[in-house]
Amino acid sequence: MPDNQLGEFLRARRAALRPQDVGMPGHGVRRVTGLRREEVAVLAGVNADYYTRLEQGRERNPSAQVLDALGRALRLDSDACAHLHQLAGTVPSVPLTPTAPDHVGPALRQLLDGCPGAPAFVINRTLDILAANALARALYSPFEEPDNLARMVFLDPAGRRFHTRWGRTAQTVVAHLRSLVRDLTEHSADFTRLWNTHAVRGKTLDAKDFLHPDVGPLTLTYQAFDVREAPGQQLVVYQAEPATRSAQALTLLGTLHATAEWC
């Protein structure tokens, strides 16, 4: 059977939208989940038969303009739009950000080390950890090799204990990572199942719950910042709510690992 990832992606994203999400009436019994193909075609300004052929894999050469219109119709964010173009082998109207080198500049490393009270680290598009400050290394010390967030969640035995809301964390990782997955799909059935949901999004702002063997439960929020000098890299910073048990535990964690490094 011919590969039809583009069609699968379009169907998945169409099914995720309700008529009211796009300003359409949703009255009556609907035989399909989400939008109908005809509704997507109307929103994108394309022929309904042409859109059907795209989903079915009978049309494999859509223009960049058509894909841009479908991205707007399906309410795709920039990450998902880029993935849509990648599946079709086209270049979007706004050029894709070039892949960042796996090199963290000295100024960014200095910034990491200048945040001793917050775990901070730099990742690339495939969730490799390129650099981390001392507290981030302490936070991820339960992992055998804290080198890639996806591998740590799915392949490291510590992943399910450390991430107390493992299912939510796993969904976030899969939604973020839509390339270079061969190694994960060969070793994790959970990753393969979530991969097939066709969700795409980047890491921005959220809360995470951890269970660290040295200091116990931690609830931390994170924010991610694009690194302008290295497009594709992100600086991720975790923080605990002030005057909470998590804040006290985070301070204790830093002290414990600083002491261990001197001993």
Q: Which fold has domain 106-262?
A: Beta-Lactamase (3.30.450)
Over residues 20-77, the pLDDT tens digits come to: 888 777 666 677 778 999 999 999 989 999 999 999 999 988 998 899 889 989 998 8
Question: Quick check: do 5-88 and 106-262 share a fold?
Answer: no
Domain ranges of the chain: 5-88, 106-262
pLDDT of residue 26: 65
Distance CA 248, CA 91 (A): 49
**Per-residue pLDDT, 96:** 45
Q: What is the pLDDT of residues 91-148, one digit of tens each?
A: 765 554 444 567 888 889 999 999 889 999 999 888 999 999 999 999 999 999 999 9
pLDDT value at residue 101: 60
Tens-place pLDDT, residues 189-215: 888 888 777 776 665 667 899 999 999
In degrees and rounded to multiples of 5, residue 121 shows phi and psi of -155, 165
Rounded Cα gap, residues 256 and 263, in angstroms: 11
pLDDT of residue 175: 83
Q: Which fold has domain 5-88?
A: 434 Repressor (Amino-terminal Domain) (1.10.260)
Query: The whole model's pTM is what?
Result: 0.61
